[in-house]
Amino acid sequence: MGRYTVGAERTGSGVRGRAVRVLAYAGCGALLLAGCASMPDSGDLRQVESTPRQDSQVRVYAIPPRPGASATEIVQGFLEALTSDDANYETAAKYLTDGARKAWQPLSSTTVLDGAPDPVGLPTDPKDGTRDMQFRLTGSKVARVDERHAYEPQSGAYDGSVHLTRLKNKQWRIDGLPQGVVMGASDFQRNFVSVNKYYYASNSASGTGRPVATVADPVYVRAQVDPMTQIVRALLHGPTKWLDPEVTSSFPTGTDLKNADVSLSPDDRNRVTVPLNTKADRVGSAQCERMAAQLLLTLQNFTPTGVGEVALQRADGAQLCVQTTDQVQGVASHGTGRQQEDQYFIDHDQRLVRLSGGDRDKKPEPVPGALGAGERKLRAAAVSRDETSAAGVSADGRNLYVGALASGASLGEPVLSSRGATPEDRLTAPSWDARGDLWVADRDPRKPRLLVLRKGAGEPLVVDAPSVEGRIEAVRVAADGVRIALIVEKDGRSSLQIGRIDRSTGDEPAGADVVLTRSVAPQLEEVTAMSWAGDSRLVVVGSEKGGVQQMRYVQVDGSTPPATTPSALANVKEIAASEDEQMPLLAHSETDGIVRLSAGDQWQKIVQDGTAPVYPG
């Protein structure tokens, strides 16, 4: 029972039952429509265990129950069929009775366990007179993917049950089972891929002629089951529930692909043509361009060379509009919106200095203006995303200053002061959002607050954060202005949390709240530093309970991205990354000072005496 993989060698104890050989021409005939032409031309079919990790390019196919299969084999075969690449779990459904098959909704959710679900206490098959059996499925929960493809970390025990009945033809079939699909973590990693959908920030200025900020909405789709079509349908069906209140889509309500048989793929020019249903027939050219920009940003990383053009069609086949990668910049403000960014840190004289983003050998130089002249000794700083202004926290952590990055610019009085008794109880490093507003936390135990200053000036406004339990130790706002990353300390444990920024109006930060915070690196007992490192990714420095310090990437939904872990670096105090993933990492190490890590390289020392590295933002 179960599933088969083509051309994969298996060793050890991972095979349940005996290997089965199938003639090559028989496999090709059965699998022609599923891509037989791309299969290996050697090797055979072997039954495989669900849990061990498979190569991401290997296609896995389920097999139906054999005649006379025992109840135990039916349960095992069904669980293994759930990990196959059948488009709609057609083979898994063959293990069910007719009634169960009609009621089962496999696409409603996917429950991920740390290992393959374990049928507890599988009994010996009963005597012929017994018509009913039940098995408990147990395991430890890791995550759940909901009907909108959103990933959510979970913990605790999983306890489900499968009920079987013996039919009149003496065959065992499942007539009661949990909704959705359940599988082990390694099978999930092989079966699913994370993709960013893109929507527009509701609080972005619109009607000004300027591009509207985009927000990445990461979801998981099945990697080998027409993923491009899956992700387009997911985009059209709307954002995930967590993000929904603060983003908008340019697609009219009810827009979908023209019909259920549509399958999308790029042509030889890397153009993807997307036929839509009648809901989109009457959109104007400007709206159509925004729709196409959403699709193009979502699809651009689907092929090795990238999707370069999207064409939208009406239901009757007439063309609505075409959007290319070069045209997207004029419609959507994506990420930083800058091709190259300078890098900044505090030097040994406690001034703000910068490095040219495109010159590895150039020496750091003080920024123009008072913050680079050393008028105030600094311990931390933040540079606005347009690199025209900067904010600096005084060396004792008490005062926050804002100044222009221009020659001769003065500094003036602090825009915010803390009354905390020690530097550790005062201001965190600040962070600028995409609107030009400045965020900072005051760690005074008597009055801890998260604050925002409109355009870096005026009266600081208190941001309500009802779901934050503990003291905020670090603040980083995403380029989209919709999401905020926080390090929160409570009861001796510091965690990385992502919150959604809700604003009462489009232009005023008054009434801004940080809501629905969620832990995205729950396995880390102590998080000491973090930075945004992409549209939906962060780089984190921390340690597990009793473990050593480590650096890793995490997704905003709490999943682990399939990215290379940064090279090891000792005694990291601070980390900085650009939301342009092509830019190098920066870090402050107590051992090596300010260092930089480019892709495919090793950490390179910049200066020994320096702290608080940052990118704009």
Range 343-614 classified under CATH 3.40.50.720: no
- Residues whose CB falls within 8 Å of the CB of residue 124, separated by 6 or more in sequence, listed in order: none
Quick check: helix, strand or coil at residue 555? strand
Quick check: helix, strand or coil at residue 190? helix
In tens, the pLDDT along 242-301 reads 999 999 999 999 999 999 999 999 999 999 999 999 999 999 999 999 999 999 999 988
pLDDT level of residue 3 (50, 70, 90 thresholds):
very low
Residue 549: CB atoms within 10 Å: 16
Amino acid at position 579, single letter:
E
pLDDT at position 7: 34
What would the mean pLDDT of 43-66 be, rounded to a whole number? 57
In tens, the pLDDT along 361-372 reads 678 999 999 999
Amino acid at position 584, single letter:
P
pLDDT level of residue 600 (50, 70, 90 thresholds):
confident
Cβ neighbourhood burial of 430 (10 Å; 0-12, 13-18, 19+): buried
pLDDT at position 573: 96
Q: pLDDT above 90 covers what percent of the chain?
A: 72
Across 373-470, the runs of DSSP E, i.e. the strands, are 378-383, 389-394, 399-404, 416-417, 431-432, 438-442, 449-453, 461-462
pLDDT at position 360: 62
Q: Is the pLDDT of residue 376 over 50?
A: yes
Across 295-375, the runs of DSSP E, i.e. the strands, are 309-313, 319-324, 332-333, 343-347, 352-355, 365-366
Q: Is the pLDDT of residue 402 over 50?
A: yes
**Range with the poorest average pLDDT among 35-44, 134-143, 474-483:** 35-44
pLDDT at position 128: 57
Range(s) within the chain of domains with CATH label 2.120.10.30: 343-614
What would the mean pLDDT of 488-516 be, rounded to a whole number? 82
**Range with the poorest average pLDDT among 39-53, 445-459, 475-489, 597-611:** 39-53
What would the mean pLDDT of 509-527 be, rounded to a whole number? 84
Q: Is the pLDDT of residue 147 over 80?
A: yes
* Residue 499 φ/ψ, nearest 5 degrees: -120, 160
Residue closest to 118 by CA, chosen among 153, 160, 89: 160
Q: Is the pLDDT of residue 205 over 90?
A: no
pLDDT at position 581: 85
Distance, in Å, from the CA atom of 355 to the CA atom of 606, rounded to the nearest integer, reads: 9
**Greater pLDDT, 123 or 491:** 491
Within 13 Å and on the Cβ side, how many CA atoms surround 146? 12
pLDDT at position 523: 85
Tell me the angle at which helices 285-299 and 227-236 cross, rounded to the nearest 10 degrees. Answer: 140
Distance, in Å, from the CA atom of 520 to the CA atom of 538, rounded to the nearest integer, reads: 10
Distance, in Å, from the CA atom of 340 to the CA atom of 328, rounded to the nearest integer, reads: 18
Quick check: helix, strand or coil at residue 245? helix
In tens, the pLDDT along 209-233 reads 567 889 999 999 999 999 999 999 9
> Would you list the DSSP string of 263-291?
-----TTSEEEEEB-GGGTT--HHHHHHH
Instruction: Show the CA angle centred on residue 372, arms to residues 370 and 373, nearest 5°.
Output: 60
Residue 443 has which token pair? 């760690």
What would the mean pLDDT of 377-403 be, rounded to a whole number? 96
In tens, the pLDDT along 378-387 reads 999 999 999 9
pLDDT at position 248: 95
**Greater pLDDT, 302 or 317:** 317
Residue closest to 504 by CA, chosen among 452, 430, 449: 452
Residue closest to 533 by CA, chosen among 583, 569, 587: 583
pLDDT level of residue 330 (50, 70, 90 thresholds):
confident
